[in-house]
């Protein structure tokens, strides 16, 4: 499908049209694209490139620099594990390793059923609850790896 034919909602198109001439708005537009698609499809990046007059390489430079942006479709339930200093010191890496083992995932893969993906993030803003993970908008604090099977099972049913 040519990039010009990728479906942008009317709201997304209006947002890009409103912001494309304003300096420093690329990140805002990328956030809005990711909000619509759940990630930044290449065709969407190409269309944005043409719409705002920026080279595709510059857009991908921003997308790949910031960990928040995804270029592949995440699982239905994105498990974000904080690896900020407080969480890391309290065992967050063990949570990542255990969740990957439970879900049989490597790196940034998605489970075969499309339900889960795991992202290592730098801060969820809940340092007092370290280690922390987030699934969707639900925050889990002071998580021990033994609790992960039960937490993950809850989302298999949704």
pLDDT attached to residue 50:
94
Q: Is the distance from CB of 63 to CB of 71 less than 8 angstroms?
A: yes
27 and 81 in a single domain? The answer is no
Is 70 within a domain? no
Q: Into how many domains does the chain fold?
A: 2
| Of 123, 60, 58, 48, residue with least CA distance to 87 | 123
81 and 40 in a single domain? The answer is no
> What angle, rounded to 10 degrees, do the helices at 10-19 and 42-52 form?
40
90 and 152 in a single domain? The answer is yes
40 and 18 in a single domain? The answer is yes
For position 93, which CATH number holds? 3.40.30.10
117 and 152 in a single domain? The answer is yes
Domain of 31 in residue numbering reads as 3-65
Q: What pTM was estimated for this model as a whole?
A: 0.75
Q: pLDDT tens-digit profile of 65-115?
A: 987 899 999 999 999 999 999 999 999 999 999 999 999 998 778 999 999
Q: pLDDT tens-digit profile of 13-48?
A: 999 999 999 999 999 999 999 999 999 999 999 999
Residue with tokens 């942008």: 8
């Amino acid at each position: 499908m040519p990039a010009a034919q990728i479906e942008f909602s009317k709201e997304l198109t209006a947002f890009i049209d409103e912001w494309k001439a304003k300096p420093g708005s690329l990140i805002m537009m990328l956030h809005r694209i990711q909000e619509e698609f759940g990630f930044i499809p290449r065709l969407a990046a190409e269309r944005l490139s043409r719409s705002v007059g920026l080279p595709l390489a510059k857009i991908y430079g921003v997308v790949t620099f910031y960990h928040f942006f995804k270029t592949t479709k995440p699982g239905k339930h994105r498990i974000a594990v904080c690896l900020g200093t407080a969480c890391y010191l309290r065992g967050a890496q063990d949570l990542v390793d255990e969740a990957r083992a439970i879900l049989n995932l490597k790196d940034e893969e998605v489970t075969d059923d499309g339900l889960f993906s795991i992202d290592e993030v730098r801060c969820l803003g809940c340092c007092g609850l370290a280690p922390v993970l987030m699934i969707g908008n639900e925050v889990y604090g002071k998580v021990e790896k033994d609790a992960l099977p039960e937490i993950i099972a809850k989302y298999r049913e949704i």
